[in-house]
Amino acid sequence: MRLTSVTVGTSQPVALASFYARLLGAVVGTAEPDWAQVRVPGGLTVNFELERHFRRPVWPSAEGAQTASQHLDIEVEDLEASVEHAVACGAVLADVQPQADVRVLFDPDGHPFCLFTG
C-alpha cells in the first residue's frame, strides 16, 4: 500500500486549492465546482471536495462546536518567514499557539494547519 493523497471537505474547493497551491508552490491540477486537486512537490496530492453542509471547524475544540477532525502539518525551514508567507496567501494566525516551534494557522475556509521546523 502507498498513500497518495488526502481529501479535505470544504465549502469552496477551487478557492482552497488555489490557496494551498500558492502556499506550497504547487500546481492546481483540476479545478471543478465540486472538486479541485493540488499536486504538491514531493508526490502527495491534496484534494478539495465540496461539502454542501460544511461548517467551519473550531480550534482548539469547544463543546458543541464543529471539531477540526484533521489538519495538515507542513515542515518549513524558517518559521517566521513561512508564517508571513502563509498570511500573505490568505491564512490567519491562530490565537492559541501550543508550541514554540510550531505555528497554527487557519486556511480561508477555517481548517487549521501547522507550520513547524524540522
For residue 60, which phi and psi values (nearest 5 degrees)? -60, 160
Note whether 68 and 92 are same-domain residues: yes
Note whether 48 and 75 are same-domain residues: no
Percent of the chain at pLDDT above 70?
100
pLDDT digits (tens, 9 = 90+) for 45-103: 999 999 999 998 988 888 888 888 889 999 999 999 999 999 999 999 999 999 999 99
Q: Prior bond to 57 cis, omega within 30?
A: no
Exposure string of 57-91, with b = 16+ CB inside 10 Å and e = fewer, is bebeeeeeeeebeebbebebeeeeebbebbeebbb
The DSSP letter of residue 63 is T
Note whether 7 and 32 are same-domain residues: yes
Q: What is the mean pLDDT of the chain?
A: 94
Establish how many alpha carbons lie within 13 A of residue 75's alpha carbon, considering only the half-sphere containing its beta carbon: 3
For residue 21, which phi and psi values (nearest 5 degrees)? -65, -45
pLDDT at 33 over 90: yes
pTM above 0.85, yes or no: yes
| Domain end point (choices 29, 53, 77) | 53
Residue for grid cell 478539495? 48
Domain range for 115 is: 55-118
